[in-house]
Amino acid sequence: MSKEITSRVTDYSQWYNDIVVKADLAEHSAVRGCMVIKPHGYAIWEKMQSILDRMFKDTGHSNAYFPLFIPKSYFSKEASHVDGFATECAVVTHYRLKNDGNGNIIVDENAKLEEELIVRPTSETIIWNTYKGWIESYRDLPILVNQWANVVRWEMRTRLFLRTAEFLWQEGHTAHATKEEAIEESERMLHVYADFVENWMAVPVVRGRKSANERFAGALETYCIEALMQDGKALQAGTSHFLGQNFAKAFDVKFTGRDGKLEHVWATSWGVSTRLIGALIMAHSDDSGLVIPPKLAPIQVVIVPIYKGTEELEVISSFVTELIVKLKAKGIAVKYDDRDTQRPGFKFAEYEMKGVPVRIAIGKRDMENGTVEVARRDTKTKLTVMQDGLEIYLQQLLEEIQQNLFDRALNFRDSHITKADSYEQFKTLLDEKGGFISAHWDGTPETEQRIKEETKATIRCIPLDNPQEDGVCILTGKPSVQRVLFARAY
């Protein structure tokens, strides 16, 4: 199966597409720009969703649901917000079809909507219009709400999981009585995302703030986590936005404070999407297929019997039945593949392609010796392991694989953060090495835009723990007090 995958070195983009398709994660749909997420891909998303959902609830948030359709007039109330999404909006203008009498279905010209509806690209406007009816006094605050939903952003150039016209995500929308509470919420959720991506996805991230050019439309501050993929490009893995009072003012959402004064509410929004699956693929996978960190693997251990005849299979199956009980008791997701329609070699290749962390093979000789063969997906090494205490060994092995994947990604990331002190050095590093380039910037949007136009690199973030360091901008030579991280990105 791995022969069907293009090498990362030959064509990274095609390698990525091959893995998405060959590992049965997703495929292009009949609707241009949209994808079908297949069961294996959706199972990974369900794992991500369930973990994040618990993390949100542990920090006091509740789930709700808001309409898919948003009146066009809502977008015009927050000018910078609509500017950010205007070119990506899908618009509903009619509400009925009819038969034209010749067997064709056409739009009924008499069924035009009085006001066009925008298919949700993000939900700030519809939610803040709703919050107006929920908030009267400080007693109604804070509102800590999250929504699991789909959104539509009419992308012209699409890539499965990374950029599609429709995708799945969660979007948190919170309302607060003070600026300080809202900023604290924005930063808290950034760290929740970082915790998830590092400790569950095994992908190291840089926590930081976006430059003004890269902020979310309508935000006063955008916090982000940035990850580095194996081709040296950055990927924004999550964002959290401090919205100030912009949306509260746009939708006239006020509350009476403890002092009896009327003032506008403070807001945040934050979200991650199925783009995380793309990040997982590009951070860990290899030329043999998908590699999934054990904590997110729908199947953590697969067991393949090797046998001749029913008798041998029955002996192996009896042992496996008992083993499965022990593994499930330790919270390990296990599958026993005793299909007689495929040979063991086919199964080995299939589960390697799909990224199952651990594969166990058991044959007649193993049963006689009280052993099994254990294969690790991350290192592709095989070991003969005793059956006695196997469940404890596998539990420890899964933890070791999880840590190894993180350490491997961390070593790659850290070796691809390079300082540049001149514009020529900056451009050379981008072309020859890639990764994050740590360089001085004069703080102006004009300089940032010129660098982007000339090199296709953007400021990925201003790290939260950035040390102050006097220097000069690599492009203009103007004074700078800190370095920022540039990279080419997805």
| Residues 6 or more apart whose Cβ sits within 8 Å of residue 275 | 161, 162, 163, 167, 235, 237
| Residues 6 or more apart whose Cβ sits within 8 Å of residue 195 | 55
Quick one: which H or E segment has residue 288? none
β partners of residue 436: 417
The 112-119 sheet, strands edge to edge: 69-71, 112-119, 90-94
- Render 318-360 in DSSP notation, one character per residue: HHHHHHHHHHHHTT--EEE---SSS-HHHHHHHHHHTT-SEEE
For 218: left if phi > 0, alpha if psi spans -120 to 50, otherwise beta; the answer is left
- In sequence order, what E strands does 153-215 have? 166-176, 206-209
- Hey, what CATH topology would domain 12-284 get? BirA Bifunctional Protein; domain 2 (3.30.930)
Q: What pLDDT was estimated at residue 80?
A: 79
Q: What pLDDT was estimated at residue 157?
A: 86
Q: What homologous superfamily is domain 417-487 in, according to CATH? A: C-terminal domain of ProRS (3.30.110.30)
- Report DSSP state, residue 153: -
Residue type, 427: K
β partners of residue 176: 266
> What is the number of residues in the chain?
490
Six token digits for residue 376:
């690790």
β partners of residue 374: 360, 383
C-beta of residue 417 within 8 angstroms of C-beta of residue 487:
no
Residue type, 53: D
- Render 420-484 in DSSP notation, one character per residue: --SHHHHHHHHHHT-SEEEEE--S-HHHHHHHHHHHS-EEEEEETTPPP--EE-TTT--EESSEE
Residue type, 308: K
- Rounded CA-CA distance 354/375 in Å is 14
Query: Among 402, 396, 362, 413, which residue's Cα sits nearest to residue 378?
Result: 402
- Rounded CA-CA distance 271/266 in Å is 18
Q: What pLDDT was estimated at residue 120?
A: 96
- Rounded CA-CA distance 132/140 in Å is 11
- Render 370-387 in DSSP notation, one character per residue: TEEEEEETTT--EEEEES
Q: What pLDDT was estimated at residue 3?
A: 62
CA distance to 17, 25, 28, 287, per residue, from 37 (Å): 14, 6, 9, 22
* Strands 143-152 and 90-94, sheet pairing: unpaired
Q: What pLDDT was estimated at residue 85?
A: 83
> What is the phi/psi pair of residue 169, to 5°?
-165, 180
Say what the pTM is: 0.96
Six token digits for residue 231:
């081709």
271 burial (CB, 10 Å; 0-12 / 13-18 / 19+) is buried
Q: What is the pLDDT along the chain (490 residues), one digit of tens a residue?
A: 556 899 999 999 999 999 999 999 999 999 999 999 999 999 999 999 999 999 999 999 999 999 999 999 999 888 778 778 889 999 999 999 999 999 999 999 999 999 999 999 999 999 999 999 999 999 999 999 999 999 999 987 899 999 999 999 999 999 999 999 999 999 999 999 999 999 999 999 999 999 999 999 999 999 999 999 999 999 999 999 999 999 999 999 999 999 999 999 999 999 999 999 999 999 999 999 999 999 999 999 999 999 999 999 999 999 999 999 999 999 999 999 999 999 999 999 999 999 999 999 999 999 999 999 999 999 999 999 999 999 999 999 999 999 999 999 999 999 999 999 999 999 999 999 999 999 999 999 999 999 999 999 999 999 999 999 999 999 999 999 999 999 999 9
- Rounded CA-CA distance 216/397 in Å is 41
Q: What pLDDT was estimated at residue 81?
A: 81
Q: What pLDDT was estimated at residue 155?
A: 84
Six token digits for residue 450:
């010129």
**What dotted CATH number matches 299-397?**
3.40.50.800
Q: What pLDDT was estimated at residue 176?
A: 98
Domain spans of the chain? 12-284, 299-397, 417-487
